[in-house]
């Protein structure tokens, strides 16, 4: 399943790049205005290829940051779960040895009673 999703992802990326290249080649001489923040950040004569790629780059940056934050979250959860597993294993070990300790304690008390 992972291999299929990886193949699908790279197929979509390749298709998007080819689509962008095709649009750029068909509209080589076209220029347009690009407004990023109305009233503050606007460019008047921008090639159409730049206008087409700009939203893709913004989306790439945003999803990269979101992916990194997601990876950090998974790392922290995995670390927390490993600690919980270690604590539970330690508790199981203590409980497993509990009857032995109790029997040893009861034997010691019997031996002490017999000595007196």
The pLDDT confidence band at residue 40, using thresholds 50, 70 and 90, is confident
pLDDT (tens digit per residue) in 91-116: 888 887 776 666 666 777 767 777 76
Tell me the C-alpha distance between 106 and 57, whole Å. Answer: 73
The tokens describing 50, both together, are: 């730049």
Tell me the C-alpha distance between 116 and 104, whole Å. Answer: 19
pLDDT at 10 over 70: yes
The pLDDT confidence band at residue 2, using thresholds 50, 70 and 90, is low
The full set of domain ranges for the chain reads: 2-82
Tell me the C-alpha distance between 19 and 8, whole Å. Answer: 16
| Torsion sign, CA atoms 56, 62, 66, 67 | positive
Residue 43's nearest CA partner among 32, 55, 59, 27 is 32
pLDDT at 59 over 80: yes
Can you give the pTM of this predicted structure?
Answer: 0.53
Tell me the C-alpha distance between 30 and 49, whole Å. Answer: 9
The pLDDT confidence band at residue 45, using thresholds 50, 70 and 90, is confident
Give the Cβ contact number of residue 95 at 10 Å: 9
pLDDT (tens digit per residue) in 63-90: 889 989 989 999 999 999 999 999 999 9
Contact at 8 Å (CB) between 34 and 48?
no
């Amino acid at each position: 399943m992972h291999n299929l999703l990886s193949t699908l992802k790279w197929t979509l990326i390749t298709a998007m790049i080819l689509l962008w290249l095709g649009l750029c080649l068909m509209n080589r001489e076209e220029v347009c205005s690009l407004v990023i923040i109305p009233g503050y950040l606007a460019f008047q004569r921008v090639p159409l290829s730049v206008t087409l790629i700009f939203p893709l780059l913004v989306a790439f940056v945003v999803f990269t940051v979101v992916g990194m934050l997601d990876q950090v979250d998974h790392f922290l959860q995995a670390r927390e779960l490993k600690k919980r597993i270690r604590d539970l294993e330690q508790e199981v070990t203590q409980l497993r040895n509990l009857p032995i300790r109790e029997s040893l304690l009861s034997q010691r008390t019997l031996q002490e009673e017999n000595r007196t």
